[in-house]
Amino acid sequence: MSILGTRVLRTEDPRFLTTGGVYVEDLVDERLDGACHVFFVRSPVAHARISGIDASAALAAPGVVAVFTAADVADLPTIPPSGPMNKHMQQPMLATDKVRYVGEPVAVVVVEQPYQGEDALELVAVDYEPLPAVLGFDPSDDTLLFEDAGTNVAGWWGNPAELKADLFDGCEVVVSQVIINQRVAPAPMESRGAAAVWGADGRLTAWIPNQGAQGTKGGLARMLNLEPSQVRVITPDVGGAFGAKFGADREHVIVAWVARELGRPARWSETRYENLIGMTHGRAQQHTITIGGSRDGDVLAYRLEVVQDAGAYVRAGGFLPMLTRLMTSGPYDIPRAESVAKVVVTSTTPIGAYRGAGRPEASAALERAIDLFAAEAGLDPADVRRKNLLPAFTEPHRTAFGALYDTGDYVTGLERALAAAGYVELRAEQAARRARGDVRQLGIGLASYVEITGMGEGEGSGPNENATVEVRPDGTATILTGTSPHGQGHQTAWAMLASEELGIPVEKITLKWGDTDLIPKGGGTGGSRSLQLGGAAVRQASQELIEEARQRAAAQLEASPADLVYDKTKTSFNVAGDPDAAVPLTQLAEQERLLIRAVFTGPGATFPFGTHVAVVEVDAETGKPTLLRMITVDDAGVVLNPLLAEGQRHGGIGQGAAQAMVEEVVYDTDGNPLTTSFADYPFVSATELPSFELVDSQTPTTYNPLGVKGIGEAGSIGSTPAVQNAIVDAVAHLGVRHIDMPTTSRRIWQAIRAAGQHSESEHA
C-alpha cells in the first residue's frame, strides 16, 4: 500500500517535545565562543531629525565593548524600495539624519553579557528634533518622510486615469464601501535573532532564523558588499515566520558587520517589544470597493481601489498590492472588473509579507463586496455566490488580471461547505432568533476564495525547486532540499515521498536544509510553494535514483535494465521471475556513491480554492461576539499527509479569524505604537477560537505529478472575510451594513447604535 495520503506522524516531534528545538538563541557552537552581544538603540519618536548622539555614558558602563552609529557604517549601502517605487525612498542601515518610525535602529551597543545591554541601552543619549508624524492612507505632502522624493506617494500599480467612468452603466444595484484591512503583527513565537562569525579566510558564517537560507545569503552579501561565495548562512530551527522572516533585515547585516569590525563572534536576540515595532507588520491596506449588477444577483462590474500603507520604508509594501490586484476578481466570473493601487509611506513600521501576502486583502475586499451587494439587492449571499462563481474548469482559465487559474470547481466547494454547515438550518435558526428579538443573535458568514501558490522563483524560468537524494551503504537515505521548513513538517513529508519510491522506511530518511554551503540553491518556504515544487523535486530525484541504480544493477547482473524489477520491500533489484539474481540498493551504494540531484520545474503557479462558513453569536446589547463554528473547504489538490495538511489549515483559519476579530497594531495620532507587548497586542488565544470543522475536497492539478497545490496560506485567506461577514450578518437586521476589522465588541456596539440612530432619524 502506498504511504502517500496517509496520516504519518511527524518524525520531527520527539526532539521538539523533549529537549526542545535548537533556535538561534539556543545555539551552542565553539565558533561562537566568546561572542559579544548586540543591542539596538531604537527611535522612541515617529519622525524627527537627529541632532546629536552622545554615547560617552554608555561607553563607560560595565561590559560595554563599543557603540556604533550611522557614521560608523557609512560603508554599507542603503536599501532601495521594492517594486517600481520612488527610488529616493532609501533605507539606511542605521538612521542617519532622520528617524522615520518608532523602532527604527539609531545606534548599536555591543556588550559582553546580555543583561549589560539592557542597562547600557538607556545610557545612549540621542537628541531628536521632532517633526510631524505622517500617518494614514492619504498622507498630505505638507510633511515629507523623504524630502528628495518630493511626495509621500511611493508609486502606483495600474493607472488611475484609466479607470472607466462607465464601468457601472446598466447596473440596477451599485454599492460602494471604504474598507480598512488593518495592520497586524506577524508575531511568530520566536522573534528575530542572529549569530555571526568571520573566518580567517574572510568568509562570513551567519546563523539566522529565516524562510530560505539562499535568499538570506543573497541579501546579506548584497548589503555587506560581498561576493555571494564569501557568505555562508546556516538556518537553525525557526520558531515560526509567517512571511516575515524572508531574506535579511538590516539588523542581521549590522550583527555581521559588528562581528567583522570587532574581530569576534556577535549575537543578537530580539525582545518582544523590539519585535512588535521592529519586525515588519502585515496587511495595512485601504480598499474602496464598488460593485454593481442586476437586481436578481448577476454581478456585472467591480472596481477595487487599493491604498497600501507601506510604512516608513518600502519593503514588500512595494509589491503586495500587485498580488492584490492580480486576484481582484477572485473565483467569480465578473464581466467588467478593474483595480488600481497606490503605495504611500508613513512614519510607521515597514510592511512586509504576512500569511497570504496581498491575496487575503483581495479576498477580504471582494467577499465584503459580494455581501454588500447581496444585502443591497435583498438576496441570500449564498445564492449570489452560486450565481457568479466561475463554472468548474479543467483547462486553465485566464482572468482579466492576467492570472492563469489551473483547475477549479468553486461551486462544488461552496455547496460542500454549505451542506456541512447545515446552512438552511442555520438561516432558520437565525430567523427565529430575529423574530423573537433574542439578545444573542446569530450571524452566518461566507467567503469563497481562490488563491495563488507556488509562484516562479529560483533557477530557470518556471517555478522550480531542487532536491538531492542519496542512499547510503547502511540502508539509510539523506535528502537535501531547497525548501526551508519551520513547522510545516517537511522532514516527514519529504521522507514519505522518497520512501514511496525507494522503499526505505520514513524513520531511516534524514532531511537537511538551510546550509548554503551544502545546498547552494533553493527558493525556501513561503507563498505555499514547498510541496508542489520541493516535494515534486524529491519525488523526481528519488525516481531518477532508482533508474540510475537500475542501470548499475543491470550491468552487474548482465541483464537488460528493462528486465529488472525493483522490490521496494527488499530495497533490491532482481531479474523478473528470478528472485535469487538480486542486487540490493545498499550494495550499489557501497560500490559507488548513489546520489541524484534533480530540479523540478512546473508550468506555472497553482490556484487552490474553497469556501469558509463562519457562525457567530453577537450579544446585541453589549456587542460581544463569539465565534461558534468554522466550517471550511480548502481544496489544494491531492493531500500527501492529512495530518500536516489539516495542521496548516487550522493555523491559517486561526490566524485569519484573529485578524477579523481581535488583532490590530495601533498607533496614536503622534505615531506612537500602542501595541508593543503581548499585554497590549491582542494575540489570539485558545479561548477566542472554536474547534474547526474541516471538509475534505481534493481537485488535483496537472501542474505537477503529485497533483498538489499549496495549503499554507489558504486558511487565512478564507477565514478573515467569512468571520467578518458573519459578524455583520448577525446585526444586519438592525440596519448595520459594514463593520471594519477587528470587529471588537466596542465596534459592533457602536455600529448597532449608529444604525439605530440612523433608522430613528429616518422614521422621524
Partner 1 sequence: MTQIELTVNGEKRSDEVEPRLLLVHYLRELLGLRAANVGCDTTSCGACTVLLDGKSVKSCTVLAVQASGHEVTTAEGLAVGGELHPVQAAFRQQHGLQCGFCTPGMVMATVGLLAENPHPTEAEVREGLEGNLCRCTGYHNIVRAVLAAAQAQAGQVTGEQVTA
Half-sphere exposure of 634 (CA within 13 A, CB side): 29
Contact assessment for residue 432 and residue 339, using Cβ atoms and an 8 Å cutoff: no
Q: With respect to partner 1, which residue has the nearer C-beta, 123 or 589?
A: 123
Q: With respect to partner 1, which residue has the nearer C-beta, 238 or 362?
A: 238
Q: With respect to partner 1, which residue has the nearer C-beta, 183 or 486?
A: 486
Please give the Cα distance from 428 to 430 (Å, whole number): 5
Query: To the nearest whole angstrom, how small is the minimum distance from the Cβ of residue 202 to partner 1?
Result: 31
Q: With respect to partner 1, which residue has the nearer C-beta, 473 or 690?
A: 690
Query: To the nearest whole angstrom, how small is the minimum distance from the Cβ of residue 237 to partner 1?
Result: 7
Query: To the nearest whole angstrom, how small is the minimum distance from the Cβ of residue 615 to partner 1?
Result: 16
558-578: b (≥16 Cβ within 10 Å) or e: ebeeeebebeeeebbbbbeee
Q: With respect to partner 1, which residue has the nearer C-beta, 38 or 657?
A: 657
List the Cα angle 736/380/371 in 5-degree steps.
50
Q: Using the structure block, give the residue that is written with the C-alpha cell 543619549.
A: 125
Query: To the nearest whole angstrom, how small is the minimum distance from the Cβ of residue 689 to partner 1?
Result: 6
SS (H, E, C) 574-594: EECCEEEEEEEHHHHHHHCCE
Please give the Cα distance from 160 to 141 (Å, whole number): 19
Query: To the nearest whole angstrom, how small is the minimum distance from the Cβ of residue 282 to partner 1?
Result: 13
Strands, E assignment, 454-503: 464-471, 477-481
Please classify residue 748 by burial: count the beta carbons closer than 10 Å to its beta carbon, then call 0-12 exposed, 13-18 middle and 19+ buried: buried
Nearest one of 218, 217, 198 to 258, comparing CA atoms: 198
Cell numbers linked to 485: 521548513
Q: With respect to partner 1, which residue has the nearer C-beta, 16 or 393?
A: 16
Contact assessment for residue 73 and residue 156, using Cβ atoms and an 8 Å cutoff: no
Q: With respect to partner 1, which residue has the nearer C-beta, 21 or 603?
A: 21
Q: With respect to partner 1, which residue has the nearer C-beta, 269 or 699?
A: 269
Query: To the nearest whole angstrom, how small is the minimum distance from the Cβ of residue 721 to partner 1?
Result: 17
Cα 350 → chain centroid: 15
Query: To the nearest whole angstrom, how small is the minimum distance from the Cβ of residue 705 to partner 1?
Result: 26
Please give the Cα distance from 430 to 299 (Å, whole number): 26
Query: To the nearest whole angstrom, how small is the minimum distance from the Cβ of residue 585 to partner 1?
Result: 30
Q: With respect to partner 1, which residue has the nearer C-beta, 243 or 350?
A: 243
Other Cβ atoms less than 10 A from the Cβ of 329: the count is: 25
Q: With respect to partner 1, which residue has the nearer C-beta, 26 or 590?
A: 26
Q: With respect to partner 1, which residue has the nearer C-beta, 349 or 572?
A: 349
What is the layout of strands, in order, in the sheet containing 98-99? 98-99, 48-54, 125-130
Q: With respect to partner 1, which residue has the nearer C-beta, 522 or 651?
A: 651
Query: To the nearest whole angstrom, how small is the minimum distance from the Cβ of residue 715 to partner 1?
Result: 8
Q: DSSP character for 351?
A: B
Query: To the nearest whole angstrom, how small is the minimum distance from the Cβ of residue 241 to partner 1?
Result: 8
Q: With respect to partner 1, which residue has the nearer C-beta, 23 or 319?
A: 23
Question: H or E element: which one contains 299?
Answer: strand 299-309
Query: To the nearest whole angstrom, how small is the minimum distance from the Cβ of residue 31 to partner 1?
Result: 18
Query: To the nearest whole angstrom, how small is the minimum distance from the Cβ of residue 485 to partner 1?
Result: 9
Q: With respect to partner 1, which residue has the nearer C-beta, 492 or 516?
A: 492
Half-sphere exposure of 353 (CA within 13 A, CB side): 21
Other Cβ atoms less than 10 A from the Cβ of 714: the count is: 35
Which positions ≥6 away from 490 have C-beta within 8 Å? 481, 483, 511, 513, 525, 530, 534
Collapsing DSSP states into helix, strand and coil, what is residue 684? coil
Query: To the nearest whole angstrom, how small is the minimum distance from the Cβ of residue 299 to partner 1?
Result: 32
Q: With respect to partner 1, which residue has the nearer C-beta, 272 or 738?
A: 272
Largest CA distance in the chain: 99
Rg (CA), the chain: 28
List the Cα angle 646/651/652 in 5-degree steps.
100
Query: To the nearest whole angstrom, how small is the minimum distance from the Cβ of residue 372 to partner 1?
Result: 28
Contact assessment for residue 242 and residue 186, using Cβ atoms and an 8 Å cutoff: yes
Query: To the nearest whole angstrom, how small is the minimum distance from the Cβ of residue 660 to partner 1?
Result: 13
Contact assessment for residue 322 and residue 291, using Cβ atoms and an 8 Å cutoff: no
Interacting residues with partner 1 (CB under 8 A): 9-10, 12-14, 16-23, 25-26, 28, 115, 187-191, 237-240, 242, 271-273, 486-489, 643-644, 646-647, 650-655, 657, 677-679, 683, 685-687, 689, 691-692, 715
What is the layout of strands, in order, in the sheet containing 594-601? 509-512, 477-481, 464-471, 594-601
